[in-house]
Amino acid sequence: MSERMELSFTLNGAPVCLTTEPGRRALDLLREEFGLTAAKEGCGLGECGACSVLVDGELKLSCLLLAAQLAGRSVVTAEGLGTPDAPHPIQSAFADCGAVQCGYCTPGMTLATSALLAQNPDPDRDAARVALSGNLCRCTGYVKIVDAVLAAGAALRGEKP
């Protein structure tokens, strides 16, 4: 079967090294080897965004990335944004705005928000909608999610709600 490779990269800020099949999906690697289950398989075809992760700051689809493509990169999953005890302001904004229902799309949505706010700290609703256009939500609808993006931006700019 597959030859295995030694793979080193940075995961949520910490260096990691493991031996794995190079053709494995990054999504499976993150979930099965590291127990990081925030990235989820929705469609497995690059159409839903549930598996989104940040790779060197760019939002990418872990279902269409091979393990070998992570070598030397910096990968951030939603677990790397914040924790239940110390949520990131983006995660707090999603909770406060009611932008979460079933939660399946939420990790990807928060990372898409992170990628947007890094480029554009004060987006308008249209910019938020474009930034989230690769992330499908099938339950809340997008109004509260866009509210959360703008609220997160305000929080990160240090503005009072």
Partner 1 sequence: MIRRVFRPTDLARLWPLLADGALAMAGGTDLLVRRRGQAAVDVALLEGIGELAEIAAMRTGLVRLGAMASHSALAASRLVTARLPVLARALLALGSPQIRAMGTLGGNIATASPAGDSLPPLYALDALVELASRHGRRRVPLAEVILGPSRTALSPGEIIAAVLVRPPVSGSLQHFEKVGRRSALAIAVASLAAVIETDAAGRVASARLAVGSLGPTVLRCPAAEAALAGQRLTPDVLQQAAGHIRAAVSPIDDIRATAAYRRQVAGNLLLRLAAGE
Residues that bind partner 1 (CB under 8 A): 1-3, 5, 22-23, 44-47, 49, 52, 58-61, 64-69, 71, 112, 115, 130-131, 133-135
Choose between 11 and 63: whose C-beta lies nearer to partner 1. 63
Instruction: Enumerate residues 6+ apart whose C-beta is below 8 A from 30.
Output: 11, 36, 39, 53, 62, 75, 77
Q: What is the closest distance, in whole angstroms, from the C-beta atom of residue 113 to partner 1 in the complex?
A: 11
Q: What is the closest distance, in whole angstroms, from the C-beta atom of residue 91 to partner 1 in the complex?
A: 20
Q: What angle do helix axes 143-156 and 106-119 make, rounded to 10 degrees? A: 50
Choose between 23 and 103: whose C-beta lies nearer to partner 1. 23
Choose between 46 and 103: whose C-beta lies nearer to partner 1. 46
Q: What's the full length of the chain, in residues?
A: 161
Among 33, 83, 40, 81, residue whose Cα is nearest residue 57: 81
Q: What is the closest distance, in whole angstroms, from the C-beta atom of residue 52 to partner 1 in the complex?
A: 6
Q: What is the closest distance, in whole angstroms, from the C-beta atom of residue 49 to partner 1 in the complex?
A: 6
